[in-house]
Amino acid sequence: MPTPPATAPQPPAPPIPLTELLAREDLGLRRIAGPADAELLWVHTSEMADPYPYLLGGELLLSAGVLLTEPDRYVARLVEAGAAAMGFGVRPVYEAVPEALVEACDRYGLPLLEVPPQTPFTTIARAVWRLMAEARHRELRRVTRAQQALATAAARPDPVPAVLHQLATQLSGRAVLLTARGEEVHAAGRRPHPEAAAALARLARVVARERPGSPASATDTHGDTHLAAYALGGGEGLVLSLATHRREPGDHTVAGIAVVLLSLLAAPHQGADAADRSAALVRLLLGATPAEVAPLLGPDGPWTVIHARRSDGTTPDALTAGALGASLGSALVDAGREDDDETVRVLLPATASETPPHPGWTLGVSAPAPLPALATADTRAARALAHAEATRTPLKVDAPVTGLAALIPSDQAAAHARTLLAPLTPPLADTLRCWLSLHGSWDRTAVALSVHRNTVRQRIGRCAELLDVDLNDMDVRTELWFALRRE
């Protein structure tokens, strides 16, 4: 059965094959019972009659047999505790390893080492830790080389297949990008046995994030084939699946690097939704109307437009803008339409949840709008951003028309607004709208419009002349605000 990765405490370094320790001629160790293919995770010395409660598993237990009275039960308890091997020191308690202990180790399959009198237990422990340090160094070098190779592959014109090919090479196995239903998207490396491939597809469904609580990764074995599956970020159900004939230290780390790269590379292309949105963009460029492409955007509408600028005034690059879009939950990001435009625009489906402030950014958010009205929503998002910057707030949401104003039919309200505001040019109307929204503050309006406060005074004065009204009158301000909101 597929199982999530173990959560037990991990050893401080990769396991050491027992054969490497036996190869140290200076220690004089000799295997006299049990198999030779054990792997050591720790070294523990104990002269207790039953060290079981103090073992974590994977130990080379060293003992001189001070309290050894029942070799069969002693060895049985070591195997039950998960000890990897036992080293028995001859002298001063025993002149030779007890035959009953040798027979018990053979019977239970526990490797037994004879430790000569001239070899202190501390010397053995020091040798094991040194071997572990060397193994850790080799592992880090291997992971570093793999990271460099995968990063180079990710920079190629065909990054996803290139990363999979490099991963299969690094792990000497099969690397497959699967959908939640087990369909291959890309694959590299030698194809495993059909039964192992089927098991790999089943494992992919275990981690595919189509239901709450799915693990991020899982492992399994099929015969002599090691299987692993990792869910990619992005929430579209893509899974990286691996099939190898060996599992070495560092494999999980190398796979983790590939998961991060593939999540970034595959995210813009995952799922039918992304494909439909790309198709909608192509059709718009080819002359289709917004109403014609609306069905391709799915049932996610209405849409919200967000305008954002860095709070520190710096110009965001494409990666920074993309990161903001990802945090907002959208890949539809425009990092700036003009060379000197520092505004990032994000288009995302409107949901019940509110857009939260983002540290380092000032955001202006439009009210939800249907696809044909996105141009208006874009304008309102820009106004909301200007208001947020003028008031030094991290977020401003353009609220929809509600209350008494919503009782008047929109077509009648728009006709009245056009008539009332006809004398004003667009720059004057924008200045009046901003000035009214900021309660007549000259300084804040200047900040919002990026003009001098005297320019604001001149424009507001010109508005009063053209409209022939007293802008100090609250009734006049209210009617103008109503018209400016409905134009």
Cα separation, 29 vs 163, in Å, equals 45
Q: What is the 3-state secondary structure (H, E, C) of the chain?
A: CCECCCCCCCCCCCCEEHHHHHCCCCCCCEEEECCCCCEECEEEECCCCCCHHHCCCCEEEEECCCCCCCHHHHHHHHHHHCCCEEEEECCCCCCCCCHHHHHHHHHHCCCEEEECCCCCHHHHHHHHHHHHHHHHHHHHHHHHHHHHHHHHHHCCCCHHHHHHHHHHHHHCEEEEEECCCCCEEEEECCCCCHHHHHHHHHHHHHHCCCCCCCCCEEEEEECCEEEEEEECCCCCCCEEEEEECCCCCCHHHHHHHHHHHHHHHHHHHCHHHHHHHHHHHHHHHCCCCHHHHHHHHHHHCCEEEEEEEECCCCCCCHHHHHHHHHHHCCCCEECCCCCCCCCEEEEEECCCCCCCCCCCEEEEECCCECHHHHHHHHHHHHHHHHHHHHHCCCEEECCCCCHHHHHCCHHHHHHHHHHHHCCCCHHHHHHHHHHHHCCCCHHHHHHHHCCCHHHHHHHHHHHHHHHCCCCCCHHHHHHHHHHHHHC
CATH among 3.30.830.10, 3.20.20.150, 1.10.10.2840, 3.65.10.10 for 404-486 = 1.10.10.2840
162 and 154 Cβ atoms separated by less than 8 Å: yes
- For 176-219, the pLDDT digits (tens) are 888 777 778 888 888 888 888 888 888 887 887 555 556 778 88
- Nearest CA to 227 among 162, 179, 175? 175
- The domain locations on the chain are 16-131, 156-269, 301-399, 404-486
Looking at domain 16-131, its CATH superfamily turns out to be HprK N-terminal domain-like (3.40.1390.20)
Residue 216 confidence (pLDDT): 77
Higher pLDDT, 287 or 473: 473
Q: Provide the CATH number for the domain formed by 156-269 in this structure.
A: 3.30.450.30
pLDDT tier for residue 337 given thresholds of 50, 70 and 90: low
- For 368-424, the pLDDT digits (tens) are 887 777 788 888 888 888 888 877 788 888 766 555 555 566 666 677 777 777 888
- What does the CA dihedral 24, 26, 31, 32 come to, rounded to 10 degrees? 170
Which of 216-220, 288-292, 462-466 is predicted with the least confidence, judged by mean pLDDT?
288-292
456 and 446 Cβ atoms separated by less than 8 Å: yes
Average pLDDT, the chain: 80
Across the beta sheet with 30-33, what order do the strands follow?
Answer: 30-33, 112-115, 85-89, 59-63, 42-45
- Which of left, alpha, beta for 450 (phi over 0: left; psi -120 to 50: alpha)? left
Position of tokens 């998960």?
82
pLDDT tier for residue 83 given thresholds of 50, 70 and 90: very high
pLDDT tier for residue 61 given thresholds of 50, 70 and 90: very high
Other residues' Cβ atoms within 10 Å of the Cβ of residue 172? 13
> What percentage of the chain has pLDDT greater than the value 90?
21
- For 109-160, the pLDDT digits (tens) are 999 999 999 999 999 999 999 998 888 888 888 888 988 888 888 876 567 7
270-280 b/e with 16+ CB inside 10 Å = b?
bbeebeebeeb
Residue 9 confidence (pLDDT): 43
- For 223-279, the pLDDT digits (tens) are 888 888 888 865 456 888 898 887 777 888 888 888 888 877 765 444 445 556 656
Cα separation, 365 vs 380, in Å, equals 8
Tokens of 418: 């056009």
Residue 113 confidence (pLDDT): 95
Residue 6 confidence (pLDDT): 39
